[in-house]
Structure 1
Amino acid sequence: MGVEEELLVVDPDGRPVPRGPAALEVAARRGEGETVPEHDRADRERTDDAVPGGEDDGDPRGQLVPELKAQQLEFATRVCADLDDVLTDLQHWRGRADAAARAVGARVAALASSPVDVEPVTTPGARYTEMTETFGLTALEQLTCGCHVHVAVADDDEGVAVLNRVRTWLPVLTALTANSPFWLGRDSGHASFRSQAWNRWPSSGPNELFADAAAYHRLIAQMVATETIVDTGMVYFDARLSERWPTVEVRIADVALRAEDAVTLAGLVRGLVETAAGEWRDGVPAPAVRSEVIRVAAWRAGRSGLTGDLVHPGTGRPAPAAAVVGALLDHVRPALAAAGDEQRVADGVAAVLDRGTGADFQRRIHEETGDLAAVVRAAVEVTHR
């Protein structure tokens, strides 16, 4: 498995600043970063068996790379076999991102949206410019940071079988990782407003069931043929097959404020993928739940996080968040046990339920200080704790 994180670049006062490209110049000189947006690198070739942060990148821990907005940095872990490796790499690359940002007078914070009002600045590059021109305010205002978890699958057939079986559980991950209650200077009323902003993209959200891998690829081709999205990289499903790597990529989560919560997320996602693959091999049919119902469940998860009811994937009815999270844990428990992750992930889930999400932390700081910039400064400290 591998984890990608997007981070917010902020000044010492707690305001997002467009110093991501400058920080990447510093990282590039240190051999830790790339300054050209990935889709603009015509000479960048990946083998079919490459994975995030893989050995083909030179540095086995990957590199810092640009994102859509200049107020962001992104990184990917190496390929990890266990959760200890995930935690080590997350801490390593959060630290290296912060070091690069410090060199240009900034810091990085694991915040999924900006609490303070800010005018997002698009990162230079042909693809990002095209996206901004094509999608207007959707792209102009899209200063959001997510966490993507890749888990290896044998082939596209297994990957599509996994996509069919994890989709009803993905909204629970939004609730667990909610870390974007503020949007451009005001409380959004949501625990994860990033999930709302992200779903402005025409290709985002849950998908219907696929008959097989060929049906999946036909749909992608049909979407690109509409000439609405810029390219296949803009297929922003909640979970998708990676274009370059033999993985299922789960994309629904906010970036987690605490690295240990991102590790818990990675363990749950691997558990979901392994459970789904096993069900497919055993002939267990995928739940026949419409994507409209899943979209409603995801909206509800983004609205209340862990502080209200969630839609239970097994019943389609509301239930207390703790009960639904417990059902997710029970669902993946055999896979967690097989990987040696059961106690660690259970403890991680219990910790989030006990102290709350990143959204809860942000609101507590704001209630104490009345200062949204103070929320950002506090988040910087927790990001690197």
Structure 2
Amino acid sequence: MEEEFLLIEPDSRTLSPRGLELVGEAAGDLGDRVGPELTRYQVELRTDPHTCLKEADDQIRATRTAAARAAARLGLRIASTGTPVLGRTDPVPITPGTRYARSAAHFRALDDEQTVCACHIHVGLPDPRDAVHVSNRLRPWLPALTALSANSPFEGGRDTGYASWRTMTWGRWPVSGPPPYFESPAHFDDLVGTLLEAEALIDRGGLYWDIRPSHHLPTIEVRVADAALTPHDTLLLAAVVRALTATALTALRAAEPAPRPAPELLRAACWRAARDGLAGHGIDPLTGRLEPQTALVERLLHTITPALRRHEDLDLVREQWQRLRTEGSGADRQRAAFRGRTDTHDVVDFVISATCAL
């Protein structure tokens, strides 16, 4: 798992450009499990590979706590939210490095919108060549995953009206959003090669599709989620994505055809999920019909129940899903924090507190 965090000045609650300092401060405890991001407002934390979610949960909490303590030694805080609640300064301060400099020169003001944070889940595959076929089978569930993980309603001091504003900012990138349906691994390789030749990418690391075969690990990487507000939210997402991947592999081995929603419907369903999150209606990308988003998530959970049972994760997912039904998504909880005094400073304080919540 890879989690991205914003650095916050506690007095003003605005972003701090001291990401490299925090990486250095936290490295003594975390080693290479902490690293920089494109902007100096951010850092990334990584877990080791895990097969046991209890062990993953322990490491997620320990890693977040170590980073928060390192930030506190620098007079800073870390916040797990998909977008900065309060404003940033444009152009954003870019982390030094050849690749980041190339990105800034090539994509220009788009890099100013990279002050967004995500949670990426990697799932190991027995045969990495299966990654594109797994991607095909995960595509229809992207809207449900977007709603389940939405945690970016505020940006620049205002409520955007979206549960996941981060999802909308990503849509401006040339290679982003739901991936295409791939006919074969060769189709994937040919398309990526064409995108590189067309200079829509600077390298394979710039494939910002919501699902992609990892370019450096034998995994499928699910990148659709906002940074998770709490460790509980990260764990739920990891359990669901792992079970989805296992379900896809079972279907692949049985030679079941992959669902193939129209790209236009899938994109519209992802937009609706980003706008309304769990609180409203969503679009079923296979039928085009509006249904309560919670019903679409319930359908997802029903589909992966056999895999959850095999992984011994079913009770955990049921418990955490019930918690979300009661408390709301990260976006819902951020808005609840705002309603108390209608002050975005309260939202920032709430996110900081929730980032390392027990």
Range class of TM-score, shorter chain = over 0.9
Q: CA deviation at 1:292?
A: 2.1
Secondary structure of 1:361's counterpart equals helix
User: Given the two structures, how large is their TM-score scaled by the length of structure 2?
Assistant: 0.96
| Partner Cα separation in structure 2 for residue 262 and residue 351 of structure 1 | 13
Secondary structure of 1:84's counterpart equals helix
Q: CA deviation at 1:123?
A: 1.4
| Alignment equivalent of 1:280, drawn from 236, 245, 252 | 252
Q: Which amino acid aligns with 2:22?
A: A
| Partner Cα separation in structure 2 for residue 141 and residue 288 of structure 1 | 31
Q: CA deviation at 1:157?
A: 2.9
| Partner Cα separation in structure 2 for residue 141 and residue 243 of structure 1 | 23
Are the equivalent residues in 1 in contact too, given 2:260–2:286 (CA < 8 A)? Answer: no
| Alignment correspondent of 1:65 | 35
| Alignment correspondent of 1:318 | 290
Q: CA deviation at 1:15?
A: 1.5
Secondary structure of 1:315's counterpart equals coil
Moved over 6 A (4+): none
Q: CA deviation at 1:359?
A: 0.8
| Partner Cα separation in structure 2 for residue 240 and residue 136 of structure 1 | 24
| Alignment correspondent of 2:79 | 109
| Alignment correspondent of 1:186 | 158
| Partner Cα separation in structure 2 for residue 10 and residue 134 of structure 1 | 28
| Partner Cα separation in structure 1 for residue 73 and residue 171 of structure 2 | 34
Secondary structure of 2:225's counterpart equals strand
Give the structure with the larger helix fraction.
Answer: 2
CA RMSD of aligned residues (A): 1.3
Is 1:10 paired with 2:8?
yes
Q: 1:19-44: CA deviations, max 9, x gaps?
A: 1111112223x2634xxxxxxxxxxx
| Alignment correspondent of 1:78 | 48
Unaligned runs of 5+ in 1: 34-61
Secondary structure of 2:83's counterpart equals coil
Secondary structure of 2:199's counterpart equals coil
Q: CA deviation at 1:7?
A: 0.6
| Partner Cα separation in structure 2 for residue 222 and residue 353 of structure 1 | 44
| Alignment correspondent of 2:243 | 271
| Partner Cα separation in structure 1 for residue 335 and residue 93 of structure 2 | 26
| Partner Cα separation in structure 2 for residue 135 and residue 373 of structure 1 | 32
| Alignment correspondent of 1:255 | 227
| Partner Cα separation in structure 1 for residue 288 and residue 137 of structure 2 | 15
| Alignment equivalent of 2:263, drawn from 282, 285, 291 | 291
Are the equivalent residues in 2 in contact too, given 1:10–1:106 (CA < 8 A)? Answer: yes
Secondary structure of 2:30's counterpart equals coil
Q: Which amino acid aligns with 2:15?
A: P
User: Given the two structures, how large is their TM-score scaled by the length of structure 1?
Assistant: 0.89
Is 1:22 paired with 2:6?
no
| Partner Cα separation in structure 1 for residue 293 and residue 19 of structure 2 | 36
Are the equivalent residues in 2 in contact too, given 1:207–1:291 (CA < 8 A)? Answer: no
| Partner Cα separation in structure 2 for residue 170 and residue 285 of structure 1 | 18
Q: Which amino acid aligns with 1:17?
A: S
Unaligned runs of 5+ in 2: none
Q: Which amino acid aligns with 2:23?
A: L
| Partner Cα separation in structure 2 for residue 220 and residue 302 of structure 1 | 27
Q: CA deviation at 1:89?
A: 1.3
Are the equivalent residues in 2 in contact too, given 1:179–1:359 (CA < 8 A)? Answer: yes
| Alignment correspondent of 1:212 | 184
| Alignment correspondent of 1:52 | none
Q: CA deviation at 1:311?
A: 1.6
Aligned residues: 354
Q: CA deviation at 1:313?
A: 4.4
| Alignment correspondent of 1:93 | 63
| Alignment correspondent of 2:311 | 339
Are the equivalent residues in 1 in contact too, given 2:45–2:63 (CA < 8 A)? Answer: yes
Q: 1:254-282: CA deviations, max 9, x gaps?
A: 01101111100001001110001100110
| Partner Cα separation in structure 2 for residue 147 and residue 267 of structure 1 | 13
Q: Which amino acid aligns with 1:26?
A: E
Secondary structure of 2:177's counterpart equals coil
Q: Give the alignment of 1:363-382 within 5 angstroms.
A: 363-382=335-354
Are the equivalent residues in 2 in contact too, given 1:116–1:183 (CA < 8 A)? Answer: yes
Are the equivalent residues in 2 in contact too, given 1:156–1:213 (CA < 8 A)? Answer: no
Q: Which amino acid aligns with 1:100?
A: A
| Partner Cα separation in structure 2 for residue 104 and residue 279 of structure 1 | 50
